[in-house]
Structures are given as C-alpha cells and as structure tokens.
Amino acid sequence: MRRVILLAGLLVGWCGAVMAAEPPADVVTLDSGFRFLYDLDFEHAHQAFASWQQQNPDNPLGPVCEAAALLFSEFNRLGVLESQFYQDDKAFQARQQFTPDPGLRVRFNTALDRAESSAQVRLAKDAKNRDALFALTMASGLRADYAGLIEKRNLASLHFTKQATAWAQQLLVVDPGCYDAHLATGVSQYIVGSMSAPVRWLVRLGGVSGDKEAGIRELQVTADRGQYLAPFARILLAIAYVREKDKPRARQLLVALQNDFPQNPIFARQISRLDAQGCCAKP
C-alpha cells in the first residue's frame, strides 16, 4: 500500500509550453499560468490564475488551478517531486518527514471546496458539463496528492485517486478527445499494478484495478496529446521509467523537459543524478 504515496493521483493541471511566458496581460489564459507554474514562477502563476478567475468567476477551473499552484509551490518547498525519483520504495520511505505549511493547507482546501461546489452547481444543470467534470477530476487528484505525498495518508490518497478515476471516466464519455483525462486513469493503473499481489487483490475488492503497462500507455497518451497535462505526464513517465530500471528513457524525457522549461532546475538535477549513476551515455 505504501506505493500509493509514490505517484498517487498526481493530477495537477499543468500546461505545456516551450519557453517561459511574459507577465500576465489584461486578458489571460490558464495556459499562461501553467507556463509560469512549470518554470517555478509562483508569483506570476498566482497572478495569472487570479486574473482568470476575475474574468471567469463561475468557472470551477479557476479555483482548481489556484489550488494546483498552491500545491506545486508546496511540493517545490518540500522537495516532493525530486523525492519521487528515488529508485526504490525503501529509499523513498527513508526520506525526511515533511512539515506542511498550515496556512497554505487552509488556502488549498478552501480553493478546492470552491471548485467542487461550483462544479456541482454546473452538473446539476448539465450532467455533461466538460469544465465541471474536468475540475472535479483535478480536484480529487490534488486531494490525493496532498494526502499521499505530504501527509502520508495512504488510504485517503487511494480513496481520492479512485474518485479522480471515476470523474475522468465520465469526462472521457462526454469528450473522448480530452486526452488529459488519461492521466488520472493511467496513474491509478500504474499505482495499483505496482502493489504486491495480496494488496492488489484487496484493492480490487474495493473496485480499483491496476496494470503497470496499461498505466504507462495511458500516461503516454496524455504526454503525446494532452492539452494541459502533457508535461506533467512526461514527468510521471520519467519517474516510472527510473523505477522500472529504464533510465535512458527517463533521461531522454528529462532532457526534453529541461529544454522546454529552462527556468526549472529540477530537471537538470535529476539528469545529473542519472549521469552520476552511469545510466547511459550522454548525447
């Protein structure tokens, strides 16, 4: 069950871009906020998402993206993403205990509560509302992130991961071209598929099945064709390949991410770690 904390529900709504963006203009898009987020420019990311919410006050994607920015800034402060690159569970479990920021946790939960409430209002009027289903998918994934990766509440994380998968499946029925939704189902498949056979059997009794290879395939769909989550899917794939002992492929993904987001030092550090291990020849 401890494997749940490795990748559980990592559904933060980050958007792909090839370079750092300029500061938010009068009319902003979610994409600009996500670009700032990926380059670890949290101040401008928060500004962009706040501006977007002012322009779209009733859309649940605004507050859920605000929550994503808060969580990612906390991940960065605590070194959560980098710890995911440990090669095995034993090393990961031996990491230092995280001490979360209580004020940020309140802001995070408040933003998610607003997103979920707004989404439910939309679904009450239209059960096929795409933005509402996407916001609920992201919100459940973000709650899984916080529970599993910061608080180490494994069962709670698995519960939220199951919720995220259910919302993602509904979203794909409404919009099969929403390739971002495959991130939720891919993460769930990989996590459960990585569990030991007895634990996997127990989890299946709760309605959650898993297959590591299927999970990687779904993550690849998002990495190749996703709108908002493509870069994050590439991060998750790199983590998975490190754990599956395919370090050359992990390095290839990290190099591409480093080129796309040059202001983010995480990718360079992980490449250096792999090179120090002699995983593969440099290009």
Q: Can you tell me the distance from the alpha carbon of 203 to that of 147, in angstroms, rounded to the nearest whole number?
A: 18
122 within some domain:
yes
282 within some domain:
no
69 within some domain:
yes
**Per-residue burial over 26-50, b = 16 or more CB atoms within 10 Å of its CB, e = otherwise:** eebbbbbbbbbbbbbbbebbbbbbb
How would DSSP label each residue in 87-106? SSHHHHHTSPPP---HHHHH
Instruction: With cut-offs at 50, 70 and 90, classify the pLDDT of residue 22.
Output: very low
Average pLDDT score, the chain: 81
246 within some domain:
yes
Q: Write out pLDDT tens, residues 148-205.
A: 788 888 788 888 988 999 999 999 999 999 998 988 888 777 775 554 443 443 444 4
121 within some domain:
yes
281 within some domain:
no
- Whether the pLDDT of residue 5 is over 60: the answer is no
Q: Can you tell me the distance from the alpha carbon of 210 to that of 193, in angstroms, rounded to the nearest whole number?
A: 4
| Amino acid letter, residue 168 | A
Q: Can you tell me the distance from the alpha carbon of 257 to that of 264, in angstroms, rounded to the nearest whole number?
A: 9
Cβ–Cβ < 8 Å for 69, 45 = yes
283 within some domain:
no
Instruction: With cut-offs at 50, 70 and 90, classify the pLDDT of residue 4.
Output: very low
What pLDDT is stored for residue 134 in this prediction?
Answer: 96
- Whether the pLDDT of residue 26 is over 70: the answer is no
The enclosing domain of 87 has a CATH number of 1.25.40.10
**Of 27-31, 54-58, 234-238, which has the strongest mean pLDDT?**
54-58
Domain range for residue 104? 4-276
Query: How is residue 255 written in tokens?
Result: 């190099």
How would DSSP label each residue in 224-283? HH-SSSHHHHHHHHHHHHHHTT-HHHHHHHHHHHHHH-TT-HHHHHHHHHHHHTT-S---
Global pTM value: 0.82
Residues whose CB falls within 8 Å of the CB of residue 281, separated by 6 or more in sequence, listed in order: none
Specify the range with the lowest mean pLDDT, choosing from 87-91, 124-128, 217-221, 239-243. 87-91
Report how many domains make up the chain: 1
Average pLDDT for 249-270: 93
Instruction: With cut-offs at 50, 70 and 90, classify the pLDDT of residue 88.
Output: low
C-alpha distances in Å from residue 201, one per residue of 38, 120, 156, 189, 244: 37, 33, 18, 13, 22
Query: How is residue 121 written in tokens?
Result: 């209002």
What pLDDT is stored for residue 209 in this prediction?
Answer: 53
187 within some domain:
yes
What pLDDT is stored for residue 24 in this prediction?
Answer: 44
Q: Write out pLDDT tens, residues 97-117.
A: 688 999 999 999 999 999 999
C-alpha distances in Å from residue 51, one per residue of 21, 55, 113, 128: 15, 6, 19, 26
Share of the chain above pLDDT 90, in %: 46
